Amino acid sequence: MPQMTESGNAGELPPFAESVLDLTERIPPGRVMTYGDVAEFIGQGGPRQVGRVMALYGGAVPWWRVIRADGRPLPDHEDRALANYRVEGTPLRDVGGEPRVDLKRARWDGK
């Protein structure tokens, strides 16, 4: 699938990015995977590499379903992420007055 590359040119996605985005699209509504979960499931890269793919190419997939390991919404995207979590019924918990995804209940194992 053609996508905009980092330089702004249309081109093919790198295979790792394609794998990350394909998996992200398969995460069911109301469920999440951490950046590390995605890397482990794909069998390559790590949380930072997955985060980079999401930052560059994740706008067209349900990006809010790939989260940090502490369950906090992505900085500067909290309101949009929380709105999506509420619509999808993603389990949330309150930590010091801050909403976080309840990973024990929301984490998806890819099956």
Domain CATH number, residue 39? 1.10.10.10
> Is pLDDT of 2 > 70?
no
Does the pLDDT value for residue 37 go beyond 50? yes
Range of the domain at 69: 2-106
Confidence class of residue 8 from pLDDT cuts 50, 70 and 90?
A: very low
Give the pLDDT confidence score for residue 72 in this predicted structure. 87
In a domain, 100, yes or no: yes
The amino acid occupying position 12 is E
Find the mean pLDDT for residues 69-77: 87
Helix extents (H) in the chain: 15-26, 35-42, 47-57, 78-88, 103-106
Please give the Cα distance from 74 to 83 (Å, whole number): 13
Domain-embedded: residue 84:
yes
Q: Per-residue confidence at 34, pLDDT binned at 50, 70, 90?
A: very high
Question: What pLDDT is recorded for position 7?
Answer: 41
In a domain, 111, yes or no: no
| Separation between Cα atoms, residue 51 and residue 38, nearest integer Å | 10
What are the pLDDT digits (tens) for 85-103?
A: 999 999 999 988 889 999 9
Measured CA to CA, the distance from residue 16 to residue 20 in angstroms comes to 6
Residue 64, number of CB atoms within 10 A of its CB: 23
In the chain, the number of structural domains is 1
More confident residue, 54 or 74: 54
Tokens representing 107? 């984490």
